[in-house]
Amino acid sequence: MIEPHAGESSIYNSVPHYSHEASPAIPSSTATPPTTAPKVEAKVEADSAILTVSVPEDAVVTVNGHPTKSLGTIRQFMSTGLEEGYVYKYVVEVKYSGVETPEKRTVRLKAGSTERLVFAGPSAESIVTTKATDVETVVTLRVPKDAKVTLAGNETHGAGEIRTFRTRRLGNGDSWSGYTIRVTANINGSEISKEKTLDLVAGANHDLAFDFNASDVAQR
């Protein structure tokens, strides 16, 4: 086990630098979840991973037991020196003002990947029904490495062949009918776009593959 380092880099306004426990990567069929996090663009190096966390302004964020110093509603954390073929585990804990019990989630990243988590914070409705935080909905997309991905009209800025998106905005029994995913890839110098529509069901894992090849150019 490699314990996280307490030092911080200057990237993205004091983005904490972490090194984490790793285990051999195991192919997974888990799906990717959509988020409504504001657009944040970040460059991911081959040996790095970036975790973007959307939280209330005054939330306190801890990653793998280490308090972070960044402020605002969008916090970005970078890990460097990651090895290809390994999965790195991050435990993100968010404490809200006036709420005794923090919200905790675990995410796993690989070298060259990005991930987003949305912590909506407590509300009158979620306190009474716990509807907003009961379930996590996941959407996993398998796309060309440099493809552009748009979720329900919102452009994302991830990279890599596997993109995972998570949300807790859908409560138990909720669904989003006609959720559109658009993927654009450069095939032999031409931009080709493909769309798929699904019914997003709260708590479900949705796994979609977008395959592109040279014949797609001829069919335009």
Give 10-residue mean pLDDT values along the chain (220 residues). 30 33 32 38 78 91 90 89 89 89 90 90 51 73 92 87 87 86 90 91 90 66
pLDDT at position 128 is 41
pLDDT at position 97 is 85
CB 74 within 8 Å of CB 52:
yes
pLDDT at position 141 is 93
Q: 142: closest CA among 194, 210, 193, 195?
A: 210
CB 136 within 8 Å of CB 157:
no
CA distance 61 to 65: 10
- Give the per-residue SS3 of the chain: CCCCCCCECCCCCCCEECCCCEEECCCCCCCECCCCCCCCCCCCCCCCEEEEEECCCCCEEEECCEECCCCCCEEEEEECCCCCCEEEEEEEEEECCCCCCCEEEEEEECCCCEEEEECCCCCHHHHHHCCCCCCCEEEEEECCCCCEEEECCEECCCCCCEEEEEECCCCCCCEEEEEEEEEEEEECCEEEEEEEEEEEECCCEEEEECCCCCHHHHCC
Q: What single letter denotes the amino acid at residue 132?
A: A
- Residue recorded with tokens 């890599």: 160
pLDDT at position 2 is 26
Residues 6+ apart with CB under 8 A from 100: none
CA distance 120 to 99: 13
pLDDT at position 219 is 56
CA distance 15 to 179: 33
pLDDT at position 1 is 26
Q: 160: closest CA among 201, 116, 115?
A: 115
The rounded Cα 196 to chain-centroid distance in angstroms is: 20
Report residue 54 as tokens.
């959307």
